[in-house]
Chains A and B, each alone.
Chain A
Amino acid sequence: MSNRAISKEEFDARAMSDGGMGSARDFFELLKPRVMSLVIFTALVGLAVAPGGIHPVIAFTALLCIAVGAGASGALNMWYDADIDAKMARTADRPIPRGRVTPGEAAAFGSILSVFSVMTMGVLVNWVAASLLAFTIFFYLVVYTMWLKRRTPQNIVIGGAAGAFPPMIGWAAVTGSVSIEPIVLFLIIFMWTPPHFWALALYRRGDYEKVGVPMLPVVAGEAETRRQILIYSLLLVPLTLLPAALGFAGWLYAVATAVLGAGFLWFAIGVWRSRAGAAQDMAAKRLFAYSILYLFLVFSLLLAEKMLGVAPMGPLSLS
């Protein structure tokens, strides 16, 4: 052990690398609050449309666990991806690249919240929902972040499943099981993810290229990406009509979703017809923005029918 006394500057530098500099707000940022809000909303819809009743306190607990679990996987994702986050304009301001939180702190924070959210869900809600939540965190961290993201342009196609699980977890929180209805909700988000992220990747391709993440526009080119966006959009729109066809959504949902779907196809065709350059970037930005609104409205319609008591499966029951 060295007996050399260290200067204040040296100590501060060590403290930065050893941690202890992050504020509570920095740790909250690790939870990716914007992503979390969409996760909470889709989980709420899964929970609301499920048959049977759930006590409001248990429903709140389930949503809290899903939110914390999603946040935990976000923190673990930031821990693993800190090297590439530092090089991309969109992510360079995150707490780890900025040096406000060390990778070790983020890993510990994410791991503790992951375990805690799953255990709390199991003990206070049910173990089916807890198992699904655990699998979602595993899928996002290991399958998507560690395995697929840097290896294949199919990263967000398969990895998108992680973002599609929350309504299924919400459903399982009420029923203690999984049936065809939550699988349809899963498939809607699963099929929505590729056009949503490829639209982003089209106008942010420089970022992905710089850090070597094989997003579709980087690997297969922009023309192929535009074609794939259209194919997935054509598959997505009929899929969103399945809840009505299967009888767990009503006419209000069917008509409004068909109109919203036509809008989605309009923007997807706009991207497909555009050519590389500013026009393509503009079309991709429009589709990206509309895709967020689209998913929000499709799920809002399911919720609205339930709240209004016009859903085929009856009104929302908080028992």
Chain B
Amino acid sequence: MTEQDESKRHEILAPVWTEEQLKRRRQRNLAIAWTLGALMVLFFVVTIVKLGGNVANRTF
């Protein structure tokens, strides 16, 4: 494959996102990030609630 062919192949495969698509992708990524952050907090809080006062009563 010549160098010219290679560059043409990239021209076909490279994603050409429109401004609108980029904006929406950013929005979706932010929504996913906030959701994951909220889940992290939820799992942490529920763990503390379930452990309750027993958190310090571990046997070593």
Residues in chain A within 8 A of chain B (CB atoms): 1-6, 8, 11-12, 15, 20-24, 27, 55, 57-58, 61, 64, 124
Q: How far apart are the CA atoms of A27 and B28 in the complex, in Å? A: 9
Are A57 and B28 neighbours in the complex by a CB distance under 8 Å?
no
- Per the CB 8 Å criterion, the residue count for chain B at the interface is 21
> Which of A11, A22, A55 makes the CB contact (< 8 A) with B16?
A11
Q: How far apart are the CA atoms of A1 and B9 in the complex, in Å? A: 9
- What are 6 inter-chain pairs, A to B, with CB distance below 8 A? A2-B12, A3-B9, A20-B25, A22-B24, A57-B49, A58-B46
> B18 — which chain A residues lie within 8 A by C-beta?
12, 15
> Which of A2, A11, A20, A124 makes the CB contact (< 8 A) with B46?
A124
Q: How far apart are the CA atoms of A136 and B15 in the complex, in Å? A: 40
Q: How far apart are the CA atoms of A55 and B47 in the complex, in Å? A: 12
Are A23 and B28 neighbours in the complex by a CB distance under 8 Å?
yes
Which residue in chain A gives the minimum CB-CB distance to B22? Answer: A20
> B27 — which chain A residues lie within 8 A by C-beta?
23-24
Are B49 and A15 neighbours in the complex by a CB distance under 8 Å?
no
Q: How far apart are the CA atoms of A216 and B25 in the complex, in Å? A: 43
Are B49 and A8 neighbours in the complex by a CB distance under 8 Å?
no
Apart from A24-B27, A27-B31, what are 17 other A-B pairs with CB-CB below 8 Å? A2-B12, A3-B8, A6-B12, A11-B16, A12-B18, A20-B17, A20-B21, A20-B25, A21-B21, A24-B24, A24-B28, A24-B30, A55-B49, A57-B45, A58-B46, A58-B49, A124-B46
> Which of B9, B21, B31, B45 makes the CB contact (< 8 A) with A15?
B21
Are B31 and A3 neighbours in the complex by a CB distance under 8 Å?
no
Which residue in chain B gives the minimum CB-CB distance to A15? Answer: B21
Known: A3-B9, A6-B12, A12-B18. A61 touches B46 (CB 8 A): yes
Which residue in chain B gives the minimum CB-CB distance to A2? Answer: B12
Q: How far apart are the CA atoms of A210 and B7 in the complex, in Å? A: 51
Are B8 and A5 neighbours in the complex by a CB distance under 8 Å?
yes
Q: How far apart are the CA atoms of A57 and B17 in the complex, in Å? A: 42
